[in-house]
Chains A and B, each alone.
Chain A
Amino acid sequence: MKPLFVHAVGVAAPGLQGWAQARPVLAGAQPWLALAETPYAPPLLPPNERRRAPPGVRQAFRAAEDAKSACAADFSQLATVFASSDSDLTVMDRINSALAEPVRAVSPTDFHNSVHNTASGYWSIAVGCRQPGTAVGGHDGSFAMGLIEAAALVHGDGFGVLLVAFDVPPPPLLRPFRAMHCAGSIALVLGAEPGEGTLARVQLSLTDEAESTLSDAALEELRLGNPALRGLPLLKAIARGAPTRVVLPHASGCNVVLEVAPA
């Protein structure tokens, strides 16, 4: 397959608060610090949607808006891929709790926020985007699944693509059944051709090799703490700016290998 070009990056995770701050940390020029996470109200969302947006949507927007802030692309024209293992289990928790009561009073807002493409829908409203938008989920391989679909949209259908991977930790009842240690999201703006300010060139293929790990213990903990942050080795390679080969987890017996180089 032809290479993908990364035009912009967004990131939101503990101690990685936006690409501008995260880049030198991932490059090893600055230490990672356990900065406290702050609540986020996406400025791009209209007030009604902002009020209704559950934590997963806010987390997705945090990285997407970060990428958008540093990118000249017309986001209303980018196809989108939202990749998430669990979208938002706080919503499912409220629905399942309501269904376990005799009255079964499901909130209509919870129900429309329960679909896996909630963040995708809110995003299309926020930026007025009528291009194809999809939502995929691949458990711990969600980031790579999203990247594969984004690559297919770029090289199979000719779109510029915004990929957003996000997940937020489940509520207490579900924690024993779905381990996740932190909220995290990564956004990439991808295209078929390099342009001014392009950050990296990425050659994607499938492999049966094992996934890459991160040498820094704190960053490795983040990587394993959230499915979206399984994409951190790619961000580290982009931040370092030297040719690097990384393997991201996808499925049993099939991972994704990325040859990352400066554009």
Chain B
Amino acid sequence: MKRKIGVYICECGPNIADNVHINKILEAVSSFGETDDIEIVVKSYKLLCSGEGKEYLKNEIEENKLTHLIVAACSPRDHNSTFINVCKQTSLNPYLYRMINIREHCAWIVHDKEQATERAIRYIRGGLRRVLFQTELYEKKLDINPDVLVVGGGIAGLEVALSLASPQRKVFLIEKKEILGGYAALYQSLLPRQQEARQEVQLKIKEVTNHPHIQVMTHTRLDQMIGFLGNFEVGVSSIGDSGTATDMKVGAIVVATGFSMTAISNFPQFRVRDGDEVYSALDIEGMLSEKGQIVRRSGDAPKSVGLIHCVGRDERGYCSRICCNAMIKIAGQIKAQDASIKVSAFIRDLCLPDKMDQDFFKEVKAQGVEFIRVQDIKSDGLRVQYTGMDMHSVNADFDMLVLAPAMEPAEGTAGLASDLGIPLHETGFYQEAHQTINPVATATDGVFVVGAAHGPKGITDSVLQAQAAAAKIMSMLIPGEKIIPEVKVSEVLEAFCMGCKTCLEVCHYGAIVFDEEKSISVVKEAICRGCGNCAGSCPSGAIQLKHFTNPQIYQEVIEALR
């Protein structure tokens, strides 16, 4: 069959045109395939990505009846999809097109014009050879389920559920405890505005429980999950005697399992015996919520309170973000209870990141709370022993000590991560897909992590992330619309597969399954992300990555190096 390849060299204004000899490239490229039954059409154009450029390209494809297309221009990261869309408007399959980068990879980095021209010619010839080995690929459209499963009924989970639930989208909310609200429901006051937090959270809980499109299952845990974005199948069961199991189909899963507090007993440098008036910040929150004031076990108020910040920061390796504010709040509340109580806060650094935090700190300090920066600190009962910044060692005795321990991942995090196939960060919290580009997603498309489960944070930030995840889900899973899974996926050539299972070990998306009967590996195309790990690791060469097959890569390299 006669093949006609169109090669369009974009001048990219002066970017490419000034740095290579366009006419030399045109000449060199037109001689390609003189020996084969391949016809080459090669032209240059000022700016292919412009409106006119795209229209020009579309006409060229149709008028010349091109069977293959090469665009030699900028980086595919910039405009690969631009030209794919041009192809889609014609009868040319977009996978018979290849974009060659002669800007970032050539014109912009090779300063000798002759050398740059030579390189551009080689790249283009390589692409020309490669494109002949490319085959048509067809995108599929898959039905999706717009419903969402939220794991965890704390403030983040409640927020996600409320943001997403609608007549077209049902939300299933499972919570392992028997009540909703998580830690936020325990707090009497929320920083920095000192509002009645419990009331706010209770309102949210009520809204969720009464919502017509949210199904709440308390005392329930996740058993297993299979599937992919838009098509997950999840099994949950009730904790406790009945153990009733329920299966559901959802399109996305949001993990909002929160945190737990490290026990003070984990830190041998803070010796606490039974009966000692030593509390964690959370204990004090509880005491304030219940009794409205700080009291010792004996019933009378302490005359002096020592607050020790950063308990566990060194051991865990991270700052827990909310404790400084929480401890300053507690200090302020103690002073409000009785200004004569001596309050000393032992700090390492102060973490006061939000816009109202500095003023709040100043306010509390003005009430007479002493802030002492220490190099190291330990305690034995109610005696605090610390080394100040002046290197002097000091002993200080108090009637009560409050320690701020580190936040850590909630119990069961590792197990859930494994069930969902998502990785953990080295701190033990869930790992996000990308810190800045994709901060609420995970390595598994369709599984999100929000709130303290992702890392230490307070209520505000948890709500922020919850809304972000909800927004992502709303744009990815539009009720009634289909999704197009990745087309450039791996495939296992049955004839060559020897069933050694090496590919199964290197696939981190769970996209390969083993057919026990045939003793071969099979790729689940809808989950495959086309990373190519399997193709690279297969000892038999039985796995090919579509659009990046061995012949395609090999031929491109051979031709470029001729």
Query: Real complex partners, A and B?
Result: no
Binding site for B on A (CB under 8 A): none
- Using CB atoms and an 8 Å cutoff, list the residues of chain B in contact with chain A: none
